[in-house]
């Protein structure tokens, strides 16, 4: 018995659409603002999320989701973009995020990123205050 294409589509499992977007690791909580790839905006050879880190964080401060006294660049953060030439996602983040495989795994899941088509890397734009201004031990000699 032959199945119609329509019934095959209805009965087949669907894979969630991958997303591009911005994210933070804040007090061990992942905060994400994302766009499905099919609705992403072109930027050169990339497809990306249009909302900036500062704009989204400011909205989160106004709603009380994050404290007003914490600035967007203080916390570890990053971005996921899609490179149309390479046909790959790039998860770019602070080393405080990339060094935690559990957090990277959670981000991959939340953004529905295919592991075989996703690269991870650091970006100088995404460095938290802890990485930019490491604490100086009082016993250190200058």
Domain span at residue 55 reads 17-128
What is the number of domains present in the chain?
1
Domain-embedded: residue 8:
no
pLDDT (mean) for 55-81: 95
Question: In degrees, to the nearest 5, what angle opens at C-alpha 33 toward C-alphas 31 and 37?
Answer: 135
Domain-embedded: residue 1:
no
Please say if the pLDDT value at position 125 is more than 90.
no
Residues 28 and 126: their CA atoms lie apart, in Å, by 17
- Token pair in block for residue 99: 């060094």
Domain-embedded: residue 51:
yes
pLDDT (mean) for 85-99: 95
Question: In degrees, to the nearest 5, what angle opens at C-alpha 23 toward C-alphas 16 and 80?
Answer: 60
Domain-embedded: residue 11:
no
pLDDT (mean) for 101-127: 93
Q: What is the pLDDT of residues 1-56, one digit of tens each?
A: 333 333 333 434 688 999 999 999 999 999 999 999 999 999 999 999 999 999 99
Domain-embedded: residue 138:
no
Q: Give the list of residues 6+ apart from residue 60 with CB closer than 8 angstroms, or none.
A: 31, 66
């Amino acid at each position: 018995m032959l199945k119609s294409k329509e019934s095959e589509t209805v009965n087949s499992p669907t894979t969630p659409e991958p997303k591009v977007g911005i994210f933070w690791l804040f007090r061990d909580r992942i905060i994400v603002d994302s766009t499905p790839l099919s609705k992403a905006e072109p930027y050169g050879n990339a497809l990306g999320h249009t909302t900036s880190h500062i704009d989204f964080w400011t909205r989160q401060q106004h709603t009380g989701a994050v404290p007003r006294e914490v600035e967007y660049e203080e916390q570890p953060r990053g971005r996921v973009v899609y490179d149309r030439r390479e046909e790959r996602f790039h998860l770019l983040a602070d080393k405080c995020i990339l060094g935690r495989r559990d957090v990277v795994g959670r981000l991959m899941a939340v953004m529905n990123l295919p592991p075989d088509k996703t690269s991870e890397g650091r970006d100088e734009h995404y460095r938290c205050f802890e990485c930019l201004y490491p604490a100086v031990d009082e016993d250190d000699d200058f």
